[in-house]
Structure 1
Amino acid sequence: MLALDLGVFHRHSHVVSVKEAAIWSTVWICLGLAFSIFIYFAYDGQWFGLGTVPDPVDGIINTGRTAAIKYLTGYVVEKSLSIDNIFVIAMIFGSFGVPPMYQHRVLFWGVVGALVLRGVMIGAGAALVARFHWILLVFGAFLLFAGLKLLFTKEKEQEGEHFLVKFLSKYIPMTQGFHGQHFIVRAGSAASHEPAVPGEAAVEDLAVESAKPNRILFTPLALALIVVEFSDIVFAVDSIPAIFAITGEAFIVFTSNIFAIMGLRSLFFLLAGMIDKFRYIKKALAFVLLLVGFKIIFADWLRTILGEHFNLILLGLILFILSLGVVASLLFPQKATKDSNEAG
């Protein structure tokens, strides 16, 4: 699907419209939800050995129904946490001045890198959970900390990203401006003289002109991609422990992550322009992290009280919290600042 996306549907760089983003978001969400049907039958029929060993988190052998509920819960958690990532990516693109027509290209390769990095992190996490069950308590405590931090910390600049930009700019040969859709150009090549956007006049790039012929130079587009990857690693530190609080089945953890991330690009173009309107989403995400952290620490007690519907109730609570955040944002929108009122 990723190859089809870039190789066919987005073969040529263009500005992704809201309509196109809405269509692709719907496609990816439908695929993500539909995969729960495969999960159900795979675990119910014990295909490929799935559903034959106890889940490392709760010690229960997952039936088709239980596995599907855990997958959907993980998918919803990962999808909701990616909304916060969208806000950061929008700031990264704004700070680098990435032309809108190239943003999809950056996000595509960002998703490819995220899948690889998360695959490694999930594999390591699954091994730790299977071998050291007490690590779940560490995950739970971390999620409580992350939830409280998100709940009470005000917006601030991404210091780590600024440090990364300064470090890379100092030690990696860079061009001064964008050169088409290229991440890397060779000094003296045709690509090194391409304008930032097709149809615009080429601007002299002193870094290219002063470099030795054929020297490899990274463009600001490459730097933006690296920072996007870095931001995903930061968010994965929160999201991956959250999914391991739900299940230790590596197959469910990885597939729920894949489908949540795959729709990130189209969701970005759909929500980036209106993310500020949902002022209570961050609060809702904070409560989701707190709920999942509380669940993993007090899992045995909660399972005794709630019984066999424990995982279904958790999914319902997460959906309720997120819906409440959206509704509250629509009912109580951000008021215009005093300065903006005076300017008007």
Structure 2
Amino acid sequence: MTLWVLTILGLVALIAVDFLIGRKPHDVSIKEAGIWTVVWIVLAVLFGVGLLVFGTAQASGEFFAGFITEKSLSVDNLFVFVLIMAKFSVPSHLQQRVLLIGVLIALVLRAIFIAAGAAVIANFSWIFYIFGAFLIYTAWKLIQEARADEEEEAFEENRLLKSIENRFGVADRYHGTKLFIRNNGKRVLTPLMVVMLAIGTTDVLFALDSIPAIFGLTQDPYIVFTANAFALMGLRQLYFLIGGLLKKLVHLSYGLSVILGFIGVKLVLHALHESGVHVPEISIPFSLTVICGVLIITTITSLIANKKTEQRAQAAQAAAQDEPAASDDAKESVES
């Protein structure tokens, strides 16, 4: 309990510092986003090393495997965050405030999910079969969507968000950083509050696969929570740092599907082992190697694919420019 309290107090202190530094709405520069991204990654590494020094090598390995998995899965969230920002036409100087509060809402909701998942796992070991099957199914769906090459063009509000809007009403424009205003004597939400709720509640959908995934790497609720916390708290800076590069990660869905499928198989094997069936279990070092290897390979292949696409586009553009010149030469020849 002491460890939990100290960890939560430390996390709250870091969030407070982050909030105070960025309390004034402003456009986040690449330099600022890069510095804070490095800060959160360094903090995560230090925490993992702390687990190694004051805990065990297994706990440290589980944390790093969970952190990298959650971080890679959270990158997929950024695609939806971009759509949400576009849907609500969020002014650029308010986006960092939206992401900060939205991510905090997501962290609280994930903590509830983690507590529920830990309670279920402690009492029903067969839940690993369900988690494993769900992750394998999710991996297959990701591959199907990637092969179909269908991109969502607009963000659709969930039922909870729509009910909140209908219950309280929404102002017709942004009012700085205000979350509520008085409109004709009635207290209504501002669009800023709505988009914060959209970011936070939409993340719950991603938690449906990320939480079972990390429970496939560790059953320690403390490690599950801290890995999620560090992955989510660096997500805001990552949004501004690689927002323009997201479309270039064309093979990310394939990589995530392989990772989820791998962890799904690991969960099923663990469930069989718990049931008394003699099957090999996948170790944390091997899991960490597979996860990192898949992410590195998909990043490299994405960059290669983008380079080839750009080269084809440049060749097509050059050919299009040559056609009018050739037709002009032919016309001059005919006139002569």
Query: Would you say same fold, with TM above 0.5?
Result: yes
Q: Distance in 2 between matches of 1:127 and 1:85?
A: 26
Task: Extract unaligned runs of 5+ from structure 1.
Answer: 44-63, 188-210
1:313 paired residue number: 286
| Cα deviation digits, residues 297-318 of structure 1 (max 9, x gap) | 12367996578xx210110000
Quick check: 1:25 aligned with 2:21? no
In the alignment, the residues of structure 2 paired with residue 303 and residue 247 of structure 1 have an alpha-carbon distance, to the nearest angstrom, of 20
| TM-score normalised by L of structure 2 | 0.82
Residues 1:88 and 2:88 aligned together: no
Does the CA-based 8 Å contact 1:86-1:272 persist in structure 2?
yes
- Do the aligned partners of residues 37 and 285 (structure 1) sit closer, same or farther apart at CA in structure 2, a change above 3 Å counting? same
Listed as ranges, the matches of 1:1-344 within 5 Å are: 1-7=14-20, 9-43=21-55, 64-153=56-145, 154-156=150-152, 161=157, 166-187=162-183, 211-212=184-185, 215-299=186-270, 305=280, 310-333=283-306, 335=309
**Larger Rg, first or second structure (1 or 2):** 2
**Structure with a larger share of its residues in helix:** 2
Larger CA deviation: 90-99 vs 298-307: 298-307
RMSD after superposition: 2.4
Instruction: Tell me how far 1:38 sits from its aligned partner.
Output: 1.6
* Post-superposition offset of 1:41: 2.9
Distance 1:230 1:100 in 2: 21
Letter in structure 1 aligned against 2:39: V
Deviation per residue, 1:100-153 (Å, 9 max, x gap): 111111111112112211111101100111110010111011101111111112
Deviation at 1:242, TM superposition (A): 0.3
Q: TM-score normalised to the size of structure 1? A: 0.80
Please report how far the alpha carbon of residue 11 of structure 1 lies from its aligned counterpart in structure 2 after TM superposition.
1.9
Rounded to whole Å, the distance in 1 between the matches of 2:201 and 2:209 is 14
Please give the alpha-carbon distance, in whole angstroms, between the structure 2 residues aligned to 1:119 and 1:157.
30
Unpaired runs of 5+ residues, structure 2, are 1-13, 322-336
- Describe the shift of the 1:158–1:238 C-alpha distance in structure 2 as closer, same or farther (beyond 3 A): farther
Q: Which amino acid aligns with 1:250?
A: P
Q: CA deviation at 1:164?
A: 5.3
Offset, 1:171: 3.3
| Count of residues in Structure 1 that have an aligned counterpart in Structure 2 | 294
Contact 1:143 1:241 in 2 (8 A): yes
Indicate the larger mover: 84-93 or 147-156.
147-156
In structure 2, how many angstroms separate the alpha carbons of the residues matched to 1:257 and 1:89? Answer: 18
Deviation by residue 1:135-186 (Cα, 9 ceiling, x = unmatched) = 0111011101111111112333567526555544433221111111212112
